[in-house]
Structure 1
Amino acid sequence: MNEEFARLRNDLDALVSQLEAVDFFRAGEDVLIGCSTSEVMGHRIGENSSEEVAALIFDVFSEKAGQHNVNLMFQGCEHINRAITMERHVAENRLYPAVSVVPHRSAGGSLSEYAYHHFDSPAVTEHVAADRGIDIGQTLIGMHIKPVAVPLRVEQKTIGQANVTIAYSRPKLIGGPRAHY
């Protein structure tokens, strides 16, 4: 592993540690990850997609998903309408209908492609309502987070050269000034 990948691994480890410290990974919940591997490497989104970066990110989060019993989902790029790749049993359990597309580097992005080829039984769906999300490189995951999405501030602001935005969802507050929460 070269120096650049060692720094990426350190960034990922720091982010994951900070997320674990605030109980971000909750058993049974869905964690959506959107990522531009191009931006992680300091390039414009979609211009220099990296399977190596995708593998690193997938492996780090897959390990944590197994430890915390969460379901990972990976958002593809705009060329597949930001469709989501996940394990088939998750899609079926959540009643997310599958769509016919196989993500690849030029339409879906490297991380979505990598996930598709490394899940046991992948499925791609058009829409999800994830409990939590990690957006690496401003890939606009908000459309796939349950309302009400709440930003989570962590110390680790970047992975490589890409900005990181974290969100979780909370139930809506209803009832006005007389309500108790």
Structure 2
Amino acid sequence: MVREQTRSILTQLLEAGTWRKGMTLVVSCSIGRVEGRREDSTGDPELARAILDTLRSVISPDINLAVQCCEHLNRALIVEREFAENCRLEPVTAVPVPEAGGTFAALAYKEYFSDPVLVSAIQGDMGIDIGLTMIGMHLRPVPKPLLLDTEMIGGARVVAARCRPRLIGGARAHYE
């Protein structure tokens, strides 16, 4: 069920607008909340693996994935080192573990990135927040929340957003 819910939400996010090669998807996930618990503590790595496997199968390799850690690591993000260097992102010196970073981030770092590095901040183009873990600080202006058909993955509430450019110029301006 978790795989199907994740696939549905990812599909809705990608179909909500056009995406281009090089865009960044920010994902954060509380496995404890997916399990239906209110407190954040270490969760079942198999649930994390199910969500990460689904991400890998649905998301194009042309989209940069950024996985947010929990507040114990100041919500730092895991990205590929080459991406971080090309974008001149500020690295931080930590490695996520289930007790500090979260089960989802720890597994992503260990098994789903080829050359992972943590960075302090990013401005993503779209995002999925599984368990209401607060990804807004890592989305570029202007995030537009999506109305999802499926708003739950397991016991976790999910919100998703795509970002659009700022509309400037007032009543006489023309937009694409």
Under TM normalisation by the shorter chain, which class is it?
Answer: over 0.9
Q: CA deviation at 1:68?
A: 5.3
Hey, what's the Cα distance between the residues in 2 that align with 1:63 and 1:122? 19
Q: Which residue of 2 aligns with 1:129?
A: 123
Counterpart residue number, 2:64:
71
**CA-to-partner distance for each residue in 1:85-127, whole Å, 9 max, x for gaps?**
0111111111102110001111110111111112110010001
Q: Does structure 2 retain, via aligned residues, the 8 Å contact 1:46–1:106?
A: no
> For 1:112, what is the secondary structure of its paired residue?
helix
Amino acid at match of 1:74: V
What is the distance in 2 between the residues matched to 1:94 and 1:55?
Answer: 28
Q: CA offsets, 1:135-179, max 9 Å, x none?
A: 000000000000111101120110001011001111111112222
1:3 equivalent in structure 2: none
1:94 to 74, 87, 94: 87
Contact 2:42 2:103 in 1 (8 A): no
TM-score (norm 1): 0.90
Distance 1:54 1:22 in 2: 25
Q: Quick one: which of 95, 99, 103 aligns to 2:96?
A: 103
- Report the 3-state secondary structure (helix = DSSP H, G, I; strand = E; otherwise coil) of the residue aligned with 2:91: coil
**Matched residues, percent identical?**
39
Number of residue pairs the alignment of both structures matches: 174
Superposed CA offset, 1:17-54 (max 9, x none): 33343346543200000110000010124134221111
Letter in 2 for 1:101: A
CA distance 1:24–1:136, shift in 2 (3 Å)? farther
In the other structure, the counterpart of 2:73 is: 80
- Structure 1 residues 107 and 48, CA, compared in 2 at 3 Å: closer, same or farther? closer
The correspondence for 2:29, drawn from 35, 38, 48, is 35
Q: What is the alpha-carbon distance in structure 2 between the residues aligned to residue 40 and residue 125 of structure 1? A: 25
Gaps of 5+ in 2: none
TM-score for the superposition, normalised by structure 2: 0.92
Which letter does structure 1 place at the counterpart of 2:170? G
